């Protein structure tokens, strides 16, 4: 089975803005590390969609949401769900 990930437009914009922020504030090397770490996290989520913790959310429509940290950038979280 060939799985892929899809970003919402908002998530894609957040990712691009964060890359620009790192480029401007910390340099392109850090921004590139962030890009690589985030891409690695996405790939891992595709391979193992059940990883990550399930946050306690009040909305039952969000019961399938999982949260995963970006390695090396642990304050940055990826919220995912299987399609």
Residue-wise pLDDT tens for the chain (83 aa)? 567 778 889 999 999 999 999 999 999 999 999 999 999 999 999 999 889 999 999 999 999 999 999 999 999 999 998 76
Q: Domain containing 15: what range?
A: 9-80
pLDDT at 83: 66
Contacts of 16 (CB under 8 A, 6+ apart): none
Question: For the chain, how many structural domains are there in total?
Answer: 1
Place of tokens 């399930």: 54
Has residue 4 been placed in a domain? no
Q: Could you tell me if residue 35 is inside a domain?
A: yes
* Residue 64 domain flag: yes
- Residue 55 in any domain: the answer is yes
3-state helix, strand, coil in the chain (%, to 5): 50, 15, 35
- The answer to whether residue 1 sits within a structural domain is no
pLDDT of residue 6: 82
């Amino acid at each position: 089975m060939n799985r892929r990930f899809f970003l919402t437009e908002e998530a894609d914009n957040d990712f691009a803005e964060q890359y620009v922020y790192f480029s401007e504030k910390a340099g392109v090397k850090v921004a590139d590390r962030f890009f690589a770490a985030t891409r690695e996290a996405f790939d891992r989520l595709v391979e193992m969609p059940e990883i990550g913790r399930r946050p306690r959310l009040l909305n039952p429509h969000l019961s399938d949401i999982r949260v995963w940290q970006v390695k090396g950038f642990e304050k940055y979280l990826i919220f995912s769900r299987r399609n």
